[in-house]
Structure 1
């Protein structure tokens, strides 16, 4: 286990395995390369600041898709209800993405509101036995919403909306390592 510096606890938890870090990096690089190439025509004409913001959002969201599934991050957020609520509250990336990708803000608002409301609900029922099943269901509905909007928005933005929904509603909201508590 590698001890993660305190500054990165919200991203990676207090510890990570080397293999988890490798998987996170490989996923971010591979998905970034594919999304960047396949969506090149959609982001190449954006201003430099909007390109930087868009790629920063990509790094944050795609990294979280995998990092939130790791034992270190999962246990970190399970220990603190306050940190879970803060995580949910600050995840407004779809609204920022709508601005940076120059698409209608209403797409970002709808994706954001659906995801935050669903994540808040899942956080409230975290200890119920049906929690994981509901998280999967809410994630699926969110992905359907994103798929519907993908007909009207660029591939790059659609990909990030899909990653965002999965990150917040399934990777983050589900306690994947129940019964694997440790002293870390």
Structure 2
């Protein structure tokens, strides 16, 4: 499989970062992922500071790092570099989906919301797998949108019936976006015109 040649303004990513950013990334998209993703993570952690304050510092640190990964990934998975990298590597796509147990680890670190986190994770991984099976199908995006919509509705309904920690609720919504839609759907098929070029 051939990867696209970098444009003059693209940044060639170090091999160690290919699974995060792909082989090449535009400076604007890279800034959106890092600055925007970390700013979003800060907002989420500030909103859920009560949960973080109630546990040992190392548990809070684990939760914060995983929230940051979810937030940055929710942006990165929409970028051309990350999307194309995984579109060209089906095996890596399956591995990416399989390793996403972030919510469960966050719940364990916080000592609360375990069943909620497990339910959202199971739904997300099954939904992302179904969407991934539709790779190259014209219905992949609407099915991904439907998986995301049902998942978000489930998060809200759960929150109304059994109050989960705010940090976990927001992380769950972003986790669904990151894995079930932003990642599982191919947003930049090969040959798609670059409007910024």
Q: TM-score range by the shorter chain?
A: over 0.9
> How well do the aligned residues superpose, as a CA RMSD in angstroms?
1.5
Runs (5+) with no aligned partner, structure 2: 1-9
User: Is contact 1:42–1:154 with CA below 8 Å preserved after alignment?
Assistant: yes
Q: In structure 1, how many angstroms separate the alpha carbons of the residues matched to 2:169 and 2:159?
A: 5
1:120 corresponds to which of 129, 134, 146: 129
Cα distance, 1:44–1:126 mapped onto 2, change above 3 Å = same
- Rounded to whole Å, the distance in 1 between the matches of 2:45 and 2:132 is 33
Question: Partner of 1:98 in structure 2?
Answer: 107
Matched, 1:158 2:169: yes
Q: In the alignment, is the contact (CA less than 8 A) between 1:95 and 1:109 conserved in 2? A: yes
Report deviation, 1:108: 1.4
Which stretch of the first structure deviates more once superposed, 149-158 or 162-171?
149-158
User: Does residue 8 of structure 1 match 2:17?
Assistant: yes
Tell me the SS of whatever aligns to 1:176. Answer: coil
Which of these residues, 184, 190, 194, is aligned with residue 173 of structure 1?
A: 184
Instruction: Determine helix, strand or coil for the equivalent of 1:69.
Output: coil
* Structure 1: 5+ residue stretches without partners: none
Q: 1:155 to 1:104 in 2, by over 3 A?
A: closer
Tell me the residue number matched to 1:38.
Answer: 47
| TM-score normalised by structure 1 residue count | 0.93
CA contact (8 A) 1:75 1:181 kept: no
8 A Cα contact 2:13 2:21, kept in partner: yes
What is the Cα deviation at residue 54 of structure 1? 0.2
Work out whether 1:141 is the aligned partner of 2:150. Answer: yes
Residue aligning to 2:4? none
1:21 Cα deviation from its structure 2 partner: 1.1
Of the three residues 118, 125, 150, the one matched with 1:109 is 118
Aligned pairs, how many? 182
1:97-139 CA-to-partner distances (Å, cap 9, x unmatched) read 1101211421111111101111111111112211100100100
Whole-angstrom CA distance in 1 between matches of 2:107 and 2:57: 16
Give 1:179 deviation, angstroms. 4.1
Paired residue for 2:65? 56
